[in-house]
Amino acid sequence: MQHQSSHDEPNVDPKLTSRLILLLCTVLIFTVMNGTMFNVAIPDIAEHFNLLPSQVSWVMTGYILVFSIGSLMYGKLADIYPIKNILTFGLIMFASGATLGLVAPNYPTLLAARIIQAMGGATIPALAFIIPARFIPGERGRVFGIISSTVAFASGVGPIAGGVIGGVLSWRFLFIFSMLAVLAIPFLRRWIPDEEKRPGVVDVPGAVFIASTVAGLLVFITTGMWWATILFAVGLVLFIWRTMTAEHPFIKPSLLKNKRYAVTVATSFMGTSVLFGMIFIIPIMLRDLNELNTLAIGLVLFPGAMAAGLIGQAGGRLVDRKGSVPVVKLALILVAAGTLCISTFAGYNPVVIAACLLITYLGFPLIQSSTANLLSTIVSKKETGVGIGLFNLLNFMSAAIGSAVYGRILDMESAAILFNPFARQGENVIYTNLFLSLSIIALLALTLFTRKFKEEPLPRD
């Protein structure tokens, strides 16, 4: 049984809401962990196929590239086609790629398997944020909070699970998690409301041009290949031209000119780049300064990831009660405080670092849920899919960009000047300065967001 809203939009049956949210979060865990688990398996894959680091890196680079672009494409498709059909296609592709990866006899087949996985897996985060906005409007904030905390939890647990599974069994067994996701299809098809195809067209040239732009930027950032800058520049020029001249462009100029939308997306981009930058730097720092092994590093990360997983529902209810704007500010304050804490105590006992991580991790689900909820009130219903899709794309790009930039900074191995006056001098200086920069980015995001929404306040969500 499906319920109709005041706008004749189908809503999820209240009796099935909890089941649907649980199932979505379970599938989302498989998808997010699929990305992070393979980080720790890269050395084993390189050894198995006798690959150079630059070759094996495409196991992650290719996945991130297709996954990021797909999150935008599926968001656009969700504005036209029924969500349950898109999810069915995505989960079949995701499981098919995993099956191929499990038995891949050589590296090209493994790479193809990862690309197929990404093509399907991108539907999950893309639509997980659209489903609450479209079908569960009365509990939108709470559901966004649960989904965001699931992403944070899976991001933290993924490397631990990857290390245990890869170490005890083999990296091939990491694909089994993705294969299980196909079991969710019959339940999703039963619990997600039926929809009619909406009027609209997909601007294929515009989609190709923006995909080329994103691909060029990500390839250059992650690999440094010079030709990627040409692909980026040409794609960007053609996308702008197509957007200004097409009758039905892939992304309408009105969305890009919406200042509140632009500031909210920019805020999320900056906040997410800080959080993923932290997740990237922390394992390197703990191994370098504290000489911890992979399991010990995972145990330092685990309390924060678990706390992020537990706070989601409470954070979502806070959004529903207080509105999105104050929760965005709270999230950025927590992120800035946590990274400043890590900057100050870099090189101290890992227990101290774990406590600092706990503060930062608490900001993760809050910033994702509050900005996603805010976007659902800013963007028109006809553009919810592409609006949230672009939001997801930029969040994934922020993770890739942050990892590449901070990785190159860490290649310098040391720094002479200590910028944090509260930190001690020593081998920790480069890490202290990096985390101080992350804190500054969070504060800049807070300033940008506060100024915009002070000028143009929103009614309570």
28 in a domain, yes or no? yes
Whether residues 317 and 329 fall in one domain = yes
Q: Where are the alpha helices (DSSP H) in 123-184?
A: 123-128, 130-135, 140-168, 175-180
Q: How far is CA 167 from the centre of its chain?
A: 26
Q: How far is CA 326 from the centre of its chain?
A: 22
Last residue of a domain, one of 193, 228, 249: 249
Whether residues 169 and 272 fall in one domain = yes
Task: Tell me how far apart the alpha carbons of residues 286 and 280 are, in angstroms, rounded to a whole number.
Answer: 11
Task: Tell me how far apart the alpha carbons of residues 250 and 109 are, in angstroms, rounded to a whole number.
Answer: 32
Report the candidate in 427, 159, 408 with the shortest Cα–Cα distance to residue 293: 159
Whether residues 283 and 221 fall in one domain = no
155 in a domain, yes or no? yes
231 in a domain, yes or no? yes
Last residue of a domain, one of 249, 265, 284: 249
95 in a domain, yes or no? yes
Kindly state the helix (H) or strand (E) to which residue 11 belongs, with its residue range.
strand 10-11
16 in a domain, yes or no? yes
Tens-place pLDDT, residues 287-312: 888 888 766 777 787 788 778 777 76
Rounded to 10 deg, the angle between the 294-322 and 259-289 helix axes is: 160
Whether residues 220 and 273 fall in one domain = no
Q: How many C-beta atoms lie closer than 10 Å to residue 172's C-beta?
A: 18
Whether residues 130 and 216 fall in one domain = no
Whether residues 123 and 263 fall in one domain = yes
Task: Tell me how far apart the alpha carbons of residues 240 and 416 are, in angstroms, rounded to a whole number.
Answer: 43
- Look up the pTM and report it: 0.78
436 in a domain, yes or no? yes
Whether residues 294 and 241 fall in one domain = no
460 in a domain, yes or no? no
Angle, alpha carbons 262-265-267 (nearest 5°)? 105
Whether residues 212 and 166 fall in one domain = no
Task: Tell me how far apart the alpha carbons of residues 97 and 172 are, in angstroms, rounded to a whole number.
Answer: 12
Last residue of a domain, one of 183, 214, 249: 249
Whether residues 31 and 177 fall in one domain = yes
1 in a domain, yes or no? no
Beta-bridge mates of residue 4: 10
Residue 222: domain span = 203-249
pLDDT of the chain along its 461 residues, tens only?
455 444 456 777 777 788 888 888 888 888 888 777 776 677 778 788 887 766 776 777 778 788 888 888 888 888 888 998 999 999 999 999 999 999 999 989 998 999 999 899 889 888 888 888 788 877 777 788 888 788 877 776 777 777 777 777 788 888 887 888 899 999 989 888 888 888 777 888 988 898 899 888 878 877 778 888 999 999 999 999 998 888 888 888 888 788 889 999 999 899 888 887 887 788 888 888 888 876 677 778 778 877 877 776 677 778 878 888 898 999 999 999 999 999 999 988 999 999 999 899 888 888 888 888 888 788 877 777 788 888 888 887 887 777 777 777 777 666 678 888 888 877 788 889 999 999 999 999 999 999 888 755 554 44
Whether residues 347 and 243 fall in one domain = no
Q: Indicate which CATH number applies to the domain containing 88.
A: 1.20.1250.20
Tens-place pLDDT, residues 230-250: 999 999 999 999 988 888 888
Backbone angles phi, psi at 290, to 5 degrees: -110, -5
- Tally the residues of the chain: 461
- How many folded domains does the chain comprise? 2
Whether residues 234 and 344 fall in one domain = no
Task: Tell me how far apart the alpha carbons of residues 369 and 125 are, in angstroms, rounded to a whole number.
Answer: 13
Whether residues 330 and 232 fall in one domain = no
